[in-house]
Amino acid sequence: MLRSVPLSTHPIGVTHLDGIVDVYDPAMCCSTGVCGPGVDPALLQFARDLRWLEARRVTVARHGLAQEPEAFASNPRVVELMATLGDAALPVTLVNGDVLVRGRYPTRDELASALPRSDRSAADAPSPAAACCAPGDGCC
């Protein structure tokens, strides 16, 4: 079962989180969907959220159905969801191997709440430049 920490004790301003986030995207024109003339704002925000996680030392892996079908076939949870729901299961986001959400992308709050805090020291904190992915800052 997925552990969730209330945001009141796990603020978005944390500098270190622990865990692994795996995203299984539907077939898109490129690996992130943030390409071409009509970029979906939700995909752009999700890409920012993933960069925000990486700046906090979370391991993030994205798997596109068109680019990496073997990643889908090798994950039993994804196989089961797709067998049951078909393409409607996608996207699927796993946190530490557990399904966080399916059929949509999670918010930054949902991602942060699903990941435990790290006990790393403040000296290991990401630099302000590495944590630049706030809406409108132009880093993504």
HEC profile of 104-125 = CCCCHHHHHHHCCECCCCHHHC
Residue 110: closest CA among 39, 45, 61, 28? 45
Q: Which domains does the chain have, with CATH numbers?
A: 17-118 (3.40.30.10)
pLDDT at 7: 38
CB of 99 within 8 A of CB of 77? yes
pLDDT at 18: 85
CB of 31 within 8 A of CB of 41? no
End-to-end CA distance of the chain: 33
| pLDDT over threshold 90, residue 11 | no
pLDDT at 14: 55
How many Å apart are CA 99 and CA 24, to the nearest integer? 11
Q: What is the largest CA-CA distance in the chain?
A: 46
How many Å apart are CA 45 and CA 6, to the nearest integer? 22
| pLDDT over threshold 90, residue 123 | no
pLDDT average, residue stretch 6-22: 64
pLDDT tens figures, 38-84: 677 888 899 999 999 999 999 999 999 988 999 999 999 999 999 99
| pLDDT over threshold 80, residue 29 | no
User: pTM here?
Assistant: 0.71
